[in-house]
Amino acid sequence: MITDRLFHILADSFWKILLPGIKVTIPLTALSFALALVIAVIVALVQVAGVRGLKQLARFYIWAVRGTPLLVQLYVIFFGLPGIGIVLDPFPSAVLVFAVNEGAYAAETMRAALESVPRGQVEAGYCVGMSWLQIMRRIVLPQAFRMAFPPLSNSLIAMVKDTSLAANITVTEMFMTTQRIVARTYEPLALYCEVGLIYLLFSTVLTWLQRWGERRLAVHGFR
């Protein structure tokens, strides 16, 4: 039952939770995902190119990152690195970890998309005098991004929710803000449901953008 006190707590806390979402959660997600895409493209291209040594290094990176929990990775970077003299602030630590973690998953998405482009198109590029990098940039990558767009969009939505783990390394995002309000008001059920609804709101907006992007790609493709 929602009492007057609980109603006022929820109404007052809504903007206090939403503001860190706009100022911290969204920038954290955007920066991390942008870096993750750069990592993913590089790692995927290394695997497709089959460069000896680098390919094995790329596979090891994917194996190690995907095989360990994201929370452990956050703790290693933020709490572990100071033991060897490397100290990072909470926000950069979170960006680094989320980017490296998502980069491993996105690299496999991009690799599969790159390998799905017909080999004949690559050979046609060589026939007109293009280098391997030119073929990748002008022919293969545009098609690969189009095929990878839906799964990458899903990964972005998942990352929005995963940023709540950054509260464990003292990043003042939505979830940590909610925890502080709960500690003061003793209303965990209502407040955690409220922050869950705000995450749902962010995810819903991204889902709409994903569908808009897919429709646009179906008509125009990457230009």
| pLDDT tens column, 83-108 | 999 999 999 999 999 999 999 999 99
Distance of CA 195 to the CA centre of its chain: 20
CB-count burial class (<10 Å; 0-12, 13-18, 19+) for 58: buried
Who has greater pLDDT, 134 or 39?
39
- Mean of pLDDT over the chain: 92
The confidence score (pLDDT) of residue 1 equals 66
Domains of the chain, residue spans: 4-219
Q: What is the pLDDT of residues 162-200, one digit of tens each?
A: 999 999 999 999 999 999 999 999 999 999 999 999 999
- Alpha-carbon distances of 11 from 16, 107, 112, 117, 184, rounded to whole Å: 9, 42, 46, 52, 15
Please, is 69 exposed, middle or buried when counting C-beta atoms within 10 Å of its C-beta (0-12, 13-18, 19+)?
A: exposed
Spatial distance between the Cα atoms of 110 and 62, rounded to a whole number of angstroms: 13
pLDDT of residue 101: 97
pTM: 0.91
Q: How far apart, in whole angstroms, are the C-alpha atoms of residue 49 and residue 57?
A: 13
Question: Architecture of domain 4-219 in CATH?
Answer: Orthogonal Bundle (1.10)
What does 151-197 look like in DSSP terms, one character per residue?
HHHHHHHHHHHHGGGGGGGT--SHHHHHHHHHHHH--HHHHHHHHHH
Provide the pLDDT for residue 222. 55
The confidence score (pLDDT) of residue 223 equals: 53
Span 61-76, mean pLDDT? 96
**Given a cut of 90, is residue 71 above it in pLDDT?**
yes
